[in-house]
Structures are given as structure tokens and as C-alpha cells.
Amino acid sequence: MSQKVSLKAILSLGQQASNIDYSIYSFSIREFVLYGLESFGIVGLIAYVFYRSAVAFILLSPLSILYMQQKRKELRDKRYLTLGLQFRELMNSMIASLQAGYSIENSFVHSHSDMSLLFGKNSYISLETAIIIKGMRNNGNVEDLLMDFGIRSHEDDIKDFAEMFRIAKRSGGDLPKMIKQTADIISEKMDVRRRIATIISAKKMEQSVMNLVPFGIILYIDFSSPGFFDALYHNIAGIVIMTMLLGIYLVAYMMAKKITDIKV
């Protein structure tokens, strides 16, 4: 009886889950408010340090849109990484289930339970396994469902796994063995990606600190020596100089972002 209830809950979750396109990230209300305030705070800091003008804040406000777009990209890339790590656990769970003699459908049901325990029932991988289980219950081909997941994920590892699954299932080969071989290769790639991400994260932290250093220096001098920078504000020569410095700062910021944006 408990298994029936569990399966019913999984199918209900698959019904409620939308087919996410993982290349598109939408802010939650909380994220939109949080990063919106953060972006306006950054624009306000730039307007104060470089121009000391409310008009400059209004003119520079489009920078907040660029900041929100950059933050959306960062969150999307973080979701890619999270999905990849969750998918590796799904592969390991499926291998164990198939080796234990489960059918393909029951291996997904069993793996869904494992993923829900590991990551929560509303995690990406739990929702995706629920969609696959629901699709199989509606007479869909598991290989097509996996490939659909791979296409929506925009992750080559998931698409490669789906293609291997299609070949193994249709050729009648040793499915658990072929899945394990593929899973081992994908896991090695994910380990390399994770190690690189760990190294890059330290550099990104250094970059974040360096981004704040110019503002820290100017604010320190400004508060410790009031009037020191007055000659740079509210006159044409000062505006031209500060605009040039702001342009150099933004170019350096974008270059640093590009250098640390490494794809594996």
C-alpha cells in the first residue's frame, strides 16, 4: 500500500513539475528584490564616488540592468553545476538498482526516492525523475524522455548519457555495465570540472575584493581628508576625468570576469 501511495505522489509531482529549460533562469520574488536593491546600491556608490550627483545616479541606472543580467547568468551557471552533481548521484543510484535486478521503470522509481532523500523532493533531479516516471506511465520511451531532459538541460554529459542509454537499450547489451562505464567517464569529467571550479572560486573572491579596493581608497581619503577630491566634482574637467576613470574601471572589471569565466 505504501508503495502505491509513494508512486502516486511521484506521478503527482511529475504532473505539477514544468519542463524546465535550464538555459533560462527566472528570478524568484525574493531574488529580484534582493539583487535589485543590490544593483541600485552599486549604482549609488558609483554615482557618489565618481560624480557626487543625483543626476549621475539617474543616468547610470541602466547599469543596474546589466548587473541583474550578470547575476542571472551566474545563478544559471550555478544551477548547471548543481544539476550535474545531482545527475551523477542519479546515475549511481540507477546502476545499483539495475544491478539489484530492478526493471528500468522501477529503477527510476527507486532512484527518485534516493534523490528525494539526498536533495529534497523539490530538487531539480527529483522533479526530472518524476517527469520521466510519469512519461513512462503514459507509454513514453525512456530513452526519448532522457534525451528530452538532456536537451533542456543543455548539458553534454546528460545528453551523452541519454544517447548511450538509447544505444544500450535498443542493442540489447548489458545495460548496467554500459551505464556504469559511461557513468565512470562522466564522473571523471565532473570531478575535473569541480576541481577547476574550486580553484576559480578563490580567484573570483580575489577579483571581488580587488573590485572594491578603488572605492575603499577613495572613500577612506574622502572621509579622512574632507575636500581632497572637491576639484574633481561639479565641473567639466572633473567630469571628463572621472568618466574616463570609470570607463577604465568597467573595462578592467569585464576583462577580469572574462578571464575567470572558464568552461570545461
Q: Is the pLDDT of residue 29 over 80?
A: yes
Residue 3 binned pLDDT confidence (cut-offs 50, 70, 90): very low
The CA distance from 105 to 132, in Å, is 9
Name the percent of the chain lying above pLDDT 70.
91
Q: How confident is the model at residue 12 (pLDDT cuts 50, 70, 90)?
A: low
pLDDT at 169 over 80: no
Residue 151 has pLDDT above 70, yes or no: yes
Average of pLDDT values for 47-64? 90
pLDDT of residue 8: 57
What is the rounded average pLDDT of the residues 108-125?
88
Cβ(27)–Cβ(146) below 8 Å: no
What's residue 1's pLDDT?
A: 37
Query: For residue 197, what is its C-alpha cell?
Result: 571550479
Distance CA 28, CA 60 (A): 25
Q: Which residue has the higher pLDDT, 252 or 170?
A: 252
CB atoms within 10 A of CB 244: 10
The answer to whether residues 131 and 19 touch, using CB atoms and an 8 Å cutoff, is yes
The answer, yes or no, to whether residue 256 has pLDDT greater than 90, is: no
Quote the CA–CA distance of 64 and 45 in Å, as a whole number: 12
* The one-letter amino acid at 121: K
Per-residue model confidence (pLDDT) at position 2: 39
Three-state DSSP class for residue 140: coil
Instruction: Give the model confidence (pLDDT) of 172-205 as tens digits.
Output: 667 777 778 888 888 888 788 778 777 777 777 8
Residue 239: what residue type? I
> Residue 104 has what pLDDT?
80
Asked if residues 125 and 115 have their Cβ atoms less than 8 Å apart, the reply is yes
Per-residue confidence (pLDDT) for residue 193, from 0 to 100: 77
pLDDT score recorded for residue 84: 86
The Cα–Cα gap between 81 and 194 comes to: 8
Q: How many residues does the chain have?
A: 264
| Top-ranked range on mean pLDDT: pick from 68-72, 136-140, 161-165, 170-174 | 68-72
pLDDT band at 41 (very low <50, low <70, confident <90, very high): very high
pLDDT > 50? residue 246: yes
